[in-house]
Amino acid sequence: MNKKSAQFGICLFVICFVCQAAIACVCSPYPPCFSASGTWPHCNYRLICPSGYSCCAFRECYNRDTHKCCHWYDGDYGDQVCPIGTICCGDTKCCDGECEICTDGQCVSRCEGGGDCCNGDCCNHDACETCEDGECITKCDPLKCESCDGQGECEVCDGDTNKQCCNGSCCNQSCCDDWDCEKCKDGGCQTCLRKAASYEEFGSCSKVPDPSWPTPAPANGCGPGGDDGISDDPANCSLPDNSSFKSACDFHDQCYGTCGNSKGGCDSTFGDNMAAACNGNSPLCWTVCTVQRTIYWAAVAIVGGECYEAAQMGACACCDCN
């Protein structure tokens, strides 16, 4: 070996030795929770987490009073800090310890059916329960007439659209065609229909047909009713003549007993029907029949007012829901 070769080899050896020494004298990397002092080979590692804190997997300082450290190993130590009371789940999640469970690395509610988790209990979704102030309570408001439909929804008056809520009570829909119809008044349900106590009151109210009144209205022939001595056939014509006013009288009774009919209209039709009963008879029968027709028509026209009023008050009711 010549002198130059020997010198080159010596220089190369020195360079390699210095480089190796420089590398060996650096302390190895230290975790975030620690600091290192000294030089190789006398490297000293010191925990630097504050008082009350611990190091999680050599990587993170956490408050022992409020958090905990989750560990797992998948080729390298992992670290995750979760609040106390939660469940470590997977490598990134902290599940609610009261309301959730960890399934396949995912936080899943432990309350079935979509119910709220409430202070460790599961509220019943189908019973319309919700969590409020740490307690399961119904979300349906009784003052709004709400009840649960069994599927988690509140409905008013059991879903009956023919009813309306009135201060917590369900009134039948405001109407005037049934005695069950109600309206909301003075904080409660009140019947829409009523019978007037007098004809004066009857005259000033909003009148509708009484749903309980018979149709057609009652009829009892001629006269106010019963054995009143008023004949249905005052002309009393012999066969083959027929001068009976019974059909005309029955129609007149039913006309008076139909809500809303006018007295004058009923009396006029009564006269026409009696005239029709007289027509077609023999001249003598027609003459007697026509005289009796005039008497009967004058009687109802002049003194039939009370009968008309009584019939109308029976056929009509006052409705306060119009």
Q: Which two tokens stand for residue 39?
A: 């030089």
CATH of 199-319, one of 3.40.50, 3.90.550, 1.20.90, 3.40.630: 1.20.90
What are the boundaries of each domain within the chain?
31-96, 117-156, 163-191, 199-319
pTM for this predicted structure: 0.58
The CA-CA-CA angle for residues 45, 50, 54, to 5°, reads 75
Please report, for residues 83, 214, 227, 300, the alpha-carbon distance to residue 307 in angstroms, rounded to integers and kept in the order given.
Answer: 89, 17, 17, 9
pLDDT tens over the chain, length 322 residues: 444 444 444 444 434 433 444 444 567 766 678 887 777 777 887 888 888 898 887 778 889 899 988 876 554 555 788 998 888 887 778 888 888 888 888 888 888 777 888 888 889 999 999 999 989 999 999 999 999 999 999 999 999 988 889 999 999 887 888 999 999 988 899 999 999 999 999 999 999 999 999 999 999 999 776 556 789 999 999 888 889 999 999 999 999 999 999 999 999 999 999 999 999 999 999 999 999 999 999 999 999 999 999 999 999 999 998 7
Contact present, 205 and 192 (Cβ < 8 Å)? no
Can you say whether residue 38 is alpha, beta or left, with left for phi > 0 and alpha for psi between -120 and 50 degrees?
left
The CA-CA-CA angle for residues 113, 130, 139, to 5°, reads 115
